[in-house]
């Protein structure tokens, strides 16, 4: 690690802005000197890997890549594996609804590198890869940051990964590093057991690793001063749709969705629903969403997932079924195409939703087929992509029941060919999120 020292650390960041307490507000990436001035150097590691993992356990740090898995459990599994482990940092932003990894890597790359070094120490790795989306502007920031830290005792390389939805899934990253094919593989074994080069592999989101760097400096108690008991700390949220200032914000976990939307200046027009959790999440009516705490346990109780903490605000005048149909088509095209549910099931439910949107089947047969197919696909995919897609579709059928009734009745939908609110390419060929 770079020049470990026992000099006193700067005061820890206060309030909800921790990861972005440095240069994100200034609009310029943090150079190494700026990073050290803000957060101080990494403390001398006088404890062993087990003690570091215990500290992570006490902090309650959960993964920020979508699943919210406890980081300490991953660390222990990889550390106990056979062979020399390797660490993979996932900064791909594969979900088009999220841009948090890009912002973190661009403005706080050294915080991520600190976390990678600490994770290597915890599991006994001497090699790491930081994966970023191919051609993303923040890839340059990461390459420059690594160039400034060539004296580390861990070999860290930046790897550019194809910009596809499923490419950021952990087994897809391992598969890409092994073979150049960025598609998920059937598990078990999980990457933690046998991953890159057959070695135990720790795959963690770059935001998770950045939090690790702060926990090591300022302690588990400081980390738990924000957030909830089950979902402690802060998180980066990508806000889009009908809000006044779309972008990436850092908030305490447990903050009600209504207050999170206020971070972006509030709604730009009256809302009917919020899409929570990125494309792997689901729709929630605005009535339910306003008071819903953005935390894993609360989202789960509400029938959705916090996922990548991406929120898309849908205005009242938009058609939730048309937005869902566009998104389902994108998810069908972006599948790995390796199992029956992805190859046949997802295109079929996208076709059914298209029929509903365009009023092509006033008998209601398309709606019946859609309900049946959602039940047949769930739990049968080789990875989690089909389950997440069916959850997204099922939530739309609940939240937009009135729209469904209008479409089944054959009423013309003015939003079929309108610019999308969801940040995915639409049938008219517009770029993501273009309005």
Domains of the chain: 23-224 (3.40.50.11540), 234-315 (3.10.20.600), 320-408 (1.20.1440.230)
Distance CA 136, CA 143 (A): 12
**432 pLDDT exceeds 50?**
no
41 pLDDT band, cuts 50/70/90, is confident
Q: CA–CA separation, 58 vs 276, rounded Å? A: 28
Q: Does residue 430 have a pLDDT over 70?
A: no
Q: What is the pLDDT of residue 433?
A: 44
pLDDT digits (tens, 9 = 90+) for 221-278: 999 999 999 999 999 999 999 999 999 999 999 999 999 999 999 999 999 999 999 9
Torsion from C-alpha of 141, 101, 329, 303, nearest 10 degrees: 180
pLDDT given at position 9: 76
Residues 366, 342: Cα–Cα separation, whole Å: 19
To the nearest whole percent, how much of the chain has pLDDT over 90? 59
Q: For residue 358, is pLDDT > 90?
A: no
The two most distant CA atoms of the chain are separated, in Å, by 74
Helix ranges (DSSP H) in 246-399? 257-263, 286-289, 296-301, 320-333, 340, 346-357, 365-377, 385-399
pLDDT value, residue 137: 75
* pLDDT, the chain, mean: 88
The predicted model gives 10-39 an average pLDDT of: 80
H or E stretch at 249: strand 247-252
130 strand-pairing partners: 89, 158
Query: pLDDT at position 45, please?
Result: 67
3-state secondary structure of 42: coil
- pLDDT exceeds cutoff 90 at 359: no
Q: Is the pLDDT of residue 23 over 70?
A: no
156 has pLDDT over 80 = yes
Mean pLDDT of 121-150: 89
- pLDDT number for residue 426: 52
> 205 versus 355: which is more confidently predicted?
205
pLDDT confidence tier of residue 361, bands split at 50, 70 and 90: low
91 within 8 A of 137, measured Cβ to Cβ:
no
Whether 167 shows a pLDDT value over 60: the answer reads yes
d(CA 421, CA 366) in angstroms, rounded, equals 24
pLDDT (0 to 100) of residue 26: 63
- Between 240 and 44, the higher pLDDT residue: 240
Give residue 24's pLDDT.
58
Nearest partner of 64 among 215, 266, 256, judged by Cα: 215
Comparing CA positions, the residue from 42, 49, 12, 8 lying closest to residue 218 is: 12
Tell me: pLDDT of 349 over 90. yes
pLDDT (0 to 100) of residue 49? 92
Q: What whole-number distance in Å separates Cα of residue 176 and Cα of residue 419? A: 34
pLDDT score of 347 more than 80: yes
Helix (H) or strand (E) holding 239: strand 234-241
Average pLDDT over residues 388-413: 87
Contact of 182 with 172, CB cutoff 8 Å: yes
User: What band does 428 get if pLDDT is binned at 50, 70 and 90?
Assistant: very low
**Residue 300: is its pLDDT beyond 50?**
yes
Highest mean pLDDT among 333-337, 348-352, 406-410: 348-352
Q: Return the pLDDT at 365.
A: 82
Count CB-CB contacts under 10 A for residue 368.
Answer: 12
Sequence-ordered alpha helix ranges (H) in 17-48: 32-39
Structure confidence at residue 2 (pLDDT):
46
What dihedral do alpha carbons 67, 73, 78, 81 form, nearest 10°? Answer: -130
* Confidence (pLDDT) at 7: 57
pLDDT digits (tens, 9 = 90+) for 97-116: 999 999 999 889 999 999 99
pLDDT for residue 121 is more than 80: yes
Residue 383 pLDDT more than 50? yes
Tell me the whole-structure pTM to 2 decimals.
0.92
What's the confidence (pLDDT) of residue 403? 86
CA-to-CA distance for 101 and 235, rounded, in angstroms?
11
Confidence of residue 184 (pLDDT cuts 50, 70, 90): confident
């Amino acid at each position: 690690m770079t020049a470990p020292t026992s000099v006193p650390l700067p005061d820890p960041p206060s309030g909800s802005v921790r990861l972005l307490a440095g240069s994100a507000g200034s609009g310029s990436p943090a150079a190494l000197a700026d990073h050290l001035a803000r957060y101080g150097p990494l403390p001398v590691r006088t404890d062993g890997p087990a003690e570091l993992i215990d500290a992570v356990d006490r902090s309650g740090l959960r993964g920020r890549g979508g699943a919210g898995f406890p980081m300490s459990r991953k660390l222990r599994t990889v550390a106990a594996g056979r062979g020399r482990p390797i660490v993979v940092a996932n900064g791909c932003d594969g979900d088009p609804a999220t841009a948090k990894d890009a912002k973190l890597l661009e403005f706080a790359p050294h915080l991520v590198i600190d976390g990678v070094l600490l994770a290597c120490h915890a599991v006994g790795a001497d090699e790491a890869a930081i994966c970023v989306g191919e051609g993303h502007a923040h890839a340059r920031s990461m390459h420059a940051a690594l160039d400034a830290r060539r004296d580390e005792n861990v070999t860290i390389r930046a790897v550019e990964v194809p910009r596809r939805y499923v490419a950021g899934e952990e087994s897809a990253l391992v598969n890409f590093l092994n073979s150049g094919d960025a598609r998920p593989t059937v598990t078990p074994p999980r990457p933690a057991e046998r991953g890159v080069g057959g070695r135990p592999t720790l795959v963690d989101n770059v935001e998770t690793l950045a939090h690790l760097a702060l926990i090591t400096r300022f302690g588990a108690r400081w980390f738990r001063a924000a957030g909830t008991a089950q979902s402690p700390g802060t998180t980066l949220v990508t806000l889009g749709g009908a809000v006044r200032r779309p972008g990436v914000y850092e908030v305490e976990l447990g903050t009600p969705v209504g207050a999170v939307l206020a971070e972006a200046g509030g709604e730009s027009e009256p809302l009917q629903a919020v899409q929570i959790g990125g494309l792997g999440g689901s729709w929630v009516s605005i009535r339910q969403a306003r008071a819903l705490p953005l935390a894993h346990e609360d989202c789960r109780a509400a029938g959705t997932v916090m996922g990548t903490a991406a929120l898309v605000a849908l205005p009242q005048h938009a058609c939730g079924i048309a937005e869902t149909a566009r998104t389902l088509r994108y998810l069908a095209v972006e599948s790995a195409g390796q199992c029956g549910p992805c190859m046949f099931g997802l295109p079929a439910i996208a076709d059914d939703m298209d029929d509903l949107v365009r009023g092509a089947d006033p008998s209601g047969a398309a709606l019946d087929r859609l309900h049946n197919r959602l039940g047949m696909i769930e739990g049968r995919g080789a990875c989690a992509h089909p389950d997440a897609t069916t959850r997204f579709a099922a939530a739309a059928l609940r939240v937009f029941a009135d729209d469904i009734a209008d479409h089944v009745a054959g009423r013309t939908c003015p939003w079929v060919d309108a610019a999308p609110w969801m940040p995915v390419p639409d049938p008219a060929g517009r770029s993501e999120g273009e309005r």
